[in-house]
């Protein structure tokens, strides 16, 4: 049976801005999703939910796990 819906990564507000987000994250690894959303809004006028940014970054191969041995991570 053929899968319904659109193919992943072919549509959506963030499709055209993935490179922009990845570039910011690589330049500043400790940036928050809220800061990314603000940068996207100010630069491109695109407003999206934080979870959409997170999913887009994960799909592009980026993830971040807070660990105590990293600068800026929460010590527990």
- Whether residue 34 is contained in a domain is answered as yes
**Residue 18: its pLDDT value, please?**
93
What is the chain's Cα-based Rg? 14
Encode pLDDT of 60-70 as tens digits. Answer: 888 766 666 65
The answer to whether residue 57 scores a pLDDT higher than 70 is yes
Q: Are 25 and 31 in contact (CB under 8 A)?
A: yes
Q: Please state the pTM of the whole predicted model.
A: 0.73
Residue 2 lies in a domain: no
What average pLDDT does this structure show over 45-59?
A: 93
Whole-angstrom distance, CA of residue 45 vs CA of residue 17: 11
Domain span at 45: 15-59
Does residue 24 fall inside a structural domain? Answer: yes
Q: Total structural domains in the chain?
A: 1
């Amino acid at each position: 049976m053929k899968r319904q819906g659109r193919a992943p990564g072919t549509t959506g507000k963030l499709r055209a801005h993935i490179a922009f987000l990845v570039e910011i994250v690589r330049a500043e690894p400790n940036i928050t999703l809220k800061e990314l959303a603000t940068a996207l809004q100010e630069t491109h006028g695109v407003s999206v939910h934080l979870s959409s940014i997170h999913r887009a970054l994960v799909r592009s191969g980026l993830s971040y796990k807070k660990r105590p041995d990293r600068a800026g991570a929460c010590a527990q």
